A = this chain, B = another copy of it.
Amino acid sequence: MELLEQIGRQAKEAEPLLRTLSGEKKNQVLNQAAEDLVKHTDRILKANEKDMARGREKGMKAGLLDRLQLSPKRIEGMAEGLRQIAALPDPIGQVMEEHTPANGLRIRKVRVPLGVIGIIYEARPNVTADAFGLCFKTGNAVVLRGGSDALFSNQAIVEVLRETLTACGCPVTAISLLSDTSRETAAAFMKLNEYIDVLIPRGSAGLIATVVQNSTIPVIETGSGNCHIYVDEAADLSMAAEIVYNAKTQRIGVCNACESLVVHEKVKDAFLPLLADWLLDKQVELRGDERARAAVPMKEASAADWGTEYLDYILSVKVVDSLSEAIAHINRYNTGHSEAIITEDNSHAEQFLREVDAAAVYVNASTRFTDGFEFGFGAEIGISTQKLHARGPMGLEALTSYKYQIYGNGQIRR
């Protein structure tokens, strides 16, 4: 625990220096870090092999082992990620607004780093380099608490990055990794308000819920997506089938995949058989209410299905009598992530866009586009499902705050 305090304090001590680094300097460090990661591929792979061996011993599942495994190509991918971050414009120092109220003060709102960012994540070691890149570019120090399964890999990556920082004359505590991956230390980490300005959990719904429940540090909640597509009575049905197919099956384990279909009564008999045909090749299991089952044979949906993020080849199907009923259903069960309407009717589209409460609301497009890169942000630290601070895909700006710089010439308050 004392070590934890020390890590937090040292990260905080790096803050003043990181805050004032020029954009040019930061990009030089990021490009150097990319080069160094590639140069030290063997060293990182050796550490990763230790994690892999331990994982296999523990009987870790193939999917998890795959996420844990590094390769020269994956390390090159991490390096490329850093180079891409270097190529983005520096948000720090940007003047966001400037005005002079009646008191004559010149007030400038200027973008600044958040300070020290804590990131709690699970087994993917590429997050380590990625989180460093995003935090460093925005002038923040980062304290990482990765999963125990990836500890050796994470340590090796952090060592290389710290060597780069030293070589470039920057404080090594710009990045720190908790080597104690116990629950007790994680719990204490979530209460380190004195040193950590914001905590971002990345991983399973369970991990995120634990952080939200236990952290006294402000949290940016990312993650779970119970995303709906509503096929309106005025939908182009073949477009609808293609979009649902894409949103459901293009990648199933992601938060922006479609989990639930809502269909207008008037088109269910034409649409559901068409969709069932599309979904056949991926053997998607449909679970529907009574009217959906009357249109196409499928399993019966239980009440729990409406609120479930399957992350699997399963889709729930609800039939509604009106757009308003569709919106009410979605607002009741969604997780504030991504929702879509398929319609050719503009007034229906506008009502859906206005009334559905989610980070991203689509007309005639797949929910799979909710992503920092697809949104053109050039990078992404996660997708926020909360309304405070940042909502939806979070790019570099989500890792910044602002301050007011005020120029006076002797003003006093009357």
Contacts and interface: CB of A to CB of B under 8 A. Distances in A.
A15 interface: yes
B212 A365 contact: no
A369 interface: yes
A169 to B, nearest CB: 18
A328 B411 CA distance: 25
Contact of A99 (B114, B331, B376, B407): B376
Interface stretch (A70-78, A149-157, A387-395): A387-395
B403 A369 contact: no
Nearest to A328: B16
A308 interface: no
Interface stretch (A170-178, A213-221, A260-268): A213-221
A389 B391 contact: no
B354 A250 contact: no
Interface string A297-333: 0000000000000000000000000000000100100
A410 interface: yes
Interface residues of A, number: 71
A77 to B, nearest CB: 19
Given A216-B213, A376-B102, A387-B114, A357 B19 contact: yes
A343 to B, nearest CB: 11
Contact of A388 (B218, B247, B392): B218
Contacts of A388: 114, 197-198, 218, 220, 388-389, 401
Q: Is the interface of A mostly helix, strand, loop or mixed?
A: mixed
Contact of A360 (B16, B193, B404): B404
**How many copies of this chain sit in the oligomeric assembly?**
2
Interface in A79-128: 99, 101-103, 105, 107, 112, 114-115
A379 to B, nearest CB: 14
Interface in A361-414: 361-366, 368-370, 374-376, 386-389, 391-392, 401-413
A119 to B, nearest CB: 15
A226 interface: no
A115 to B, nearest CB: 6
A401 B391 contact: yes
Given A16-B355, A389-B389, A239 B410 contact: yes
A100 to B, nearest CB: 9
A413 B107 contact: no
Contact of A374 (B103, B236, B374, B409): B103
Contacts of A370: 404
B107 A375 contact: yes
A207 to B, nearest CB: 15
Given A103-B369, A413-B374, A359 B404 contact: yes
Contacts of A198: 387-388
24 contacts: A16-B328, A115-B387, A198-B387, A198-B388, A218-B218, A218-B388, A236-B410, A247-B413, A250-B412, A358-B403, A359-B403, A361-B404, A363-B406, A364-B407, A364-B410, A365-B408, A365-B409, A365-B410, A366-B408, A366-B412, A370-B404, A374-B413, A391-B403, A392-B403
